[in-house]
C-alpha cells in the first residue's frame, strides 16, 4: 500500500475521508477545524444520532465538496475509555466497509482517533493492522469463483506528527497484519496440500527472503538423531516428517537466544485413539502453532530487531495404518527419556518433546512453545483465551506484557508437583503421554515441560484461539493467526529493553 501525507483537512482530496467521533465530540481538540470545512450541522447530526458516536458505529455521509466524495464517521464511544483493542477491532470493521464499497483510496484523519492514552502514532499502527486483518479473505479452491481484490491501493493520512515517523508506524501495522494473514493462509490450507514437506518448502522461502539460517531435517536424518517421538507419530503416514530450524542472528554471538517452538501436525486423525466423525473435521488446522511461529518470523525478518531468535517446527501428520504407533507402545525420545503411549491422540506433545529438546541443543536460552494441543483448554477457558504454563513466572510476566499490548488474552494455569507425578507415572517408562482427562491442558503442556529442564519456558495452548468458528471484527471464520503479533512484540520489547 502507498502512504501519502496531507497537511490539513482543507487540502485533502479523496474518495473517502475517515473521521473518528465520540461522545461530546464538540469538546475534542481541533474539532472546530473540521466543522469549519464541513459545517456545524455535523454536531447536530450527532446529537440526533444521524451520525453514530457509539463504539464501532459507522455512518457514511455524502458531501457537497468536490474534493471529498464521502465521509465515514467512525464511532469511538467514550473517548476516555477507548482501549487499543477496541480501536483495532473498530478499524477491522472500517476495513470491511471499505472492502464492501470497493474503495481504492481513502484518507484517515489520524489525529481524530487519538486519545489521552492512544497517541496518533499508536493509532496509525492500529489502523493499518486492524484494516489489514479485518479485510482478510479465506482462499478457496472453487473453479467458478475468484476472490476479488479488496485491498486499498493508496492510504492518505492527516496528522500533525512528523511524516517519516507516521509512515513508519503505518508500515509496522501493515507488516503485522500481513504476517497474521500469512499464518491464517497456512492454517486454512487442506492437509493434502500443506504436508510437512510443503511447510518445509514454505520455511525455506521465508529463510531465503530474510536471510535466516535454515536447517530442514528429513526422516532419515531424524532416525540418525534418534528422534523417536516425532518418528512415532509419523509411523502411520506415507508423508515424511520434517524438523525445521531457522535462526535469526543479528548479534555478534549466538547467545541469549529466544526459541519459538511450533507444533506442525498437518492433519490429526487421532491415530488408533481415533477422533469422532465430528471431532476429526477441522484437524487440518492442527499446525496452528507452526503457523504462528512462521508468521512471527516474517515480522522479525521485516523489522530486524536486535535480538537472537530461533524457530523450531516439528511437522508430520498423525495417520492410521499397519505401521502406526499404538497404545501400550514405549518410545525413546531425542532426550533419551522413554514414554509409554496411552493415547495416540496425545501426539502433539510428543512432537514438541523432541522439538524443544533440539531447540535446547541448538542454543536456546529461553523457549516459548505453541500448539493446538488439547480440547481441555477450551473446556477450561473457552474459545477466546489462550492457556499458558511456565516454569519461570518472571519470564511469563514479561511475555504477558506483549500479549496485553496486542490484545491476545492469555491465562496462566498451575503446574503442580502432583501433576508432574502423574505425568511421570508408568510401570514401564519414564513418562506416560496421557495421565487422564481431568486437567487435560495441564498434563499436555506439563509433558512438554519435562523436556525443557531448567531453561525458562512458556507453553501456549492455542487450541481454542487458533481457529474462529464464525466471522469476527478482525477477520472471517477460520484460522486466526493468534500469537503471531504477541511473539513478535515480545521480541521487539526485549530488543528495546522495554519495561512497564
Q: What grid cell was written down for 398?
A: 514479561
pTM: 0.96
Q: Output the CA–CA distances (angstroms, integers) from residue 295 to 18, 188, 206, 318, 387, in the order listed.
A: 30, 14, 10, 24, 20
Residues contacting 253, CB < 8 A, separation 6+? none
Q: Output the CA–CA distances (angstroms, integers) from residue 33 to 10, 22, 40, 236, in the order listed.
A: 9, 16, 10, 68
Q: What grid cell was written down for 340?
A: 509409554
Distance CA 199, CA 316 (A): 10
Nearest to 444 by CA among 358, 324, 343: 343
Residue numbers in the known binding site for Mn(2+) are 263, 268, 286, 345, 347
DSSP 462-488: -TTTSEESS-BTTB-SEE--TTHHHHH
Residue 296, pLDDT score: 98
**Contact yes or no for 98/131 (Cβ under 8 A):** yes
Q: Residues in the chain, how many?
A: 500
Residues paired with 108 in a beta bridge: 18, 157
CATH match for 182-496 among 3.90.850.10, 3.40.50.150, 3.40.630.10, 1.20.120.530: 3.40.630.10
Using CA atoms in the order 181, 184, 185, 186, what is the torsion angle rounded to 10 degrees?
Answer: 130
Residues paired with 261 in a beta bridge: 312, 369
Half-sphere exposure of 38 (CA within 13 A, CB side): 24
In the set 69, 70, 154, 275, the catalytic residue is 275
SS3 at position 174: helix
Residue 41 has phi, psi (to 5 degrees) of -60, -20
In the set 56, 79, 349, 494, the catalytic residue is 349
Residue numbers in the known binding site are 263, 268, 286, 345, 347
Where are the domains positioned within the chain?
2-160, 182-496
SS3 at position 310: strand
Residue 35 has phi, psi (to 5 degrees) of -65, -25
Distance CA 60, CA 43 (A): 15
SS3 at position 219: helix
Residues contacting 472, CB < 8 A, separation 6+? none
Residues contacting 10, CB < 8 A, separation 6+? 37
Residues paired with 468 in a beta bridge: 478
Q: With 0-12 CB in 10 A as exposed, 13-18 as middle and 19+ as buried, what is 488?
A: buried
CA R_g for the chain: 24
- Kindly provide the residue ranges of all beta strands, DSSP E only, lying in 14-162, ordered along the sequence: 14-21, 58-62, 68-75, 105-109, 154-158
Helix ranges (H only) for 135-276 are: 163-188, 196-210, 219-225, 228-234
Distance CA 57, CA 50 (A): 11
CATH 3.40.220.10 for the 2-160 domain, yes or no: yes
Q: Exposed e or buried b for every residue in 167-177, given b needs 16+ CB within 10 A?
A: bebbbbbbbbb
pLDDT profile of the chain (500 residues), mean per 10: 84 93 91 91 94 97 89 97 98 96 93 95 97 94 75 89 95 98 98 98 98 98 98 98 98 97 98 96 98 98 98 98 98 98 98 98 98 97 98 98 98 98 98 95 98 98 98 97 98 84
Half-sphere exposure of 284 (CA within 13 A, CB side): 16
- Kindly provide the residue ranges of all beta strands, DSSP E only, lying in 230-277, ordered along the sequence: 242-248, 258-268
Edge-to-edge strand order for the sheet containing 242-248?
213-217, 242-248, 309-318, 258-268, 366-371, 457-461, 386-390, 410-412
275 is catalytic: yes
349 is catalytic: yes
DSSP 116-129: SSS-HHHHHHHHHH
Q: Output the CA–CA distances (angstroms, integers) from residue 228 to 166, 206, 239, 329, 354, in the order listed.
A: 51, 28, 16, 12, 8
Q: What grid cell was written down for 75?
A: 464511532
SS3 at position 361: helix
Distance CA 271, CA 275 (A): 8
Residue 109, pLDDT score: 96
Amino acid at each position: 500500500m502507498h502512504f501519502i501525507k496531507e497537511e490539513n483537512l482543507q487540502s485533502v482530496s479523496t474518495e473517502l475521508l475517515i473521521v473518528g467521533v465520540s461522545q461530546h465530540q464538540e469538546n475534542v481538540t481541533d474539532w472546530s477545524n473540521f466543522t469549519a470545512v464541513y459545517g456545524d450541522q455535523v454536531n447536530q447530526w450527532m446529537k440526533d444520532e444521524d451520525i453514530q458516536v457509539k463504539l464501532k458505529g459507522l455512518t457514511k455521509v455524502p458531501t457537497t465538496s468536490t474534493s471529498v466524495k464521502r465521509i465515514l464517521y467512525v464511532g469511538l464511544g467514550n473517548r476516555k475509555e477507548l482501549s487499543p483493542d477496541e480501536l483495532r477491532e473498530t478499524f477491522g470493521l472500517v476495513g470491511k466497509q471499505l472492502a464492501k464499497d470497493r474503495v481504492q483510496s481513502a484518507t484517515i484523519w489520524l489525529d481524530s482517533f487519538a486519545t489521552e492514552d492512544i497517541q496518533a502514532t499508536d493509532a496509525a499502527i492500529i489502523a493499518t493492522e486492524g484494516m489489514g486483518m479485518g479485510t482478510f479473505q479465506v482462499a478457496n479452491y472453487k473453479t467458478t469463483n475468484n476472490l476479488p481484490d479488496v485491498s486499498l491501493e493508496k492510504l492518505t493520512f492527516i496528522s500533525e506528527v512528523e511524516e517519516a515517523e507516521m509512515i513508519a508506524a503505518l508500515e509496522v501495522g501493515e507488516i503485522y497484519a500481513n504476517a497474521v494473514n500469512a499464518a491464517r493462509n497456512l492454517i486454512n490450507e487442506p492437509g493434502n496440500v500443506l504436508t510437512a514437506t510443503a511447510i518445509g518448502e514454505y520455511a525455506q522461502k521465508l529463510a531465503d527472503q530474510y536471510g535466516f539460517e535454515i536447517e530442514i531435517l528429513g526422516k532419515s536424518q531424524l532416525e540418525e538423531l534418534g528422534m523417536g517421538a516425532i518418528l512415532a507419530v509419523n509411523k502411520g503416514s506415507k508423508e515424511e516428517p520434517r524438523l525445521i530450524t531457522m535462526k535469526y542472528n543479528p548479534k555478534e554471538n549466538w547467545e541469549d537466544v529466544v526459541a519459538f517452538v511450533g507444533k506442525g501436525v498437518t492433519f490429526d486423525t487421532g491415530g488408533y485413539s481415533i477422533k469422532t466423525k465430528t471431532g476429526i473435521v477441522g484437524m487440518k488446522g492442527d499446525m496452528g502453532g507452526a503457523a504462528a511461529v512462521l508468521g512471527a518470523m516474517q515480522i522479525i525478518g521485516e523489522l530486524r530487531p536486535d535480538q537472537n531468535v530461533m524457530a523450531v517446527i516439528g511437522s508430520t501428520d498423525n495417520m492410521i495404518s499397519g505401521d502406526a504407533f499404538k497404545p501400550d507402545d514405549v518410545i525413546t525420545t531425542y532426550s533419551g527419556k522413554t514414554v509409554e503411549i496411552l493415547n495416540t491422540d496425545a501426539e502433539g506433545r510428543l512432537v514438541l518433546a523432541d522439538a524443544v529438546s533440539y531447540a535446547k541443543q541448538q542454543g536456546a536460552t529461553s523457549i516459548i512453545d505453541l500448539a493446538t494441543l488439547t480440547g481441555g483448554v477450551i473446556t477450561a477457558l473457552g474459545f477466546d483465551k489462550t492457556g499458558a504454563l511456565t516454569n519461570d513466572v518472571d519470564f511469563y510476566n514479561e511475555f504477558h506484557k506483549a500479549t496485553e499490548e496486542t490484545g491476545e488474552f492469555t491465562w496462566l494455569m498451575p503446574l503442580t508437583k502432583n501433576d508432574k507425578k502423574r505425568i511421570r507415572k508408568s510401570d514401564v517408562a519414564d513418562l506416560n503421554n496421557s495421565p487422564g482427562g481431568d486437567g487435560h491442558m495441564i498434563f499436555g503442556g506439563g509433558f512438554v515441560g519435562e523436556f525443557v529442564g531448567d531453561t525458562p519456558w512458556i507453553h501456549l495452548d492455542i487450541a481454542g484461539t487458533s481457529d474462529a468458528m464464525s466471522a469476527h471484527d478482525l477477520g472471517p471464520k477460520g484460522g486466526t493467526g493468534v500469537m503471531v503479533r504477541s511473539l513478535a512484540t515480545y521480541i521487539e520489547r526485549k530488543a528495546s529493553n522495554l519495561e512497564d
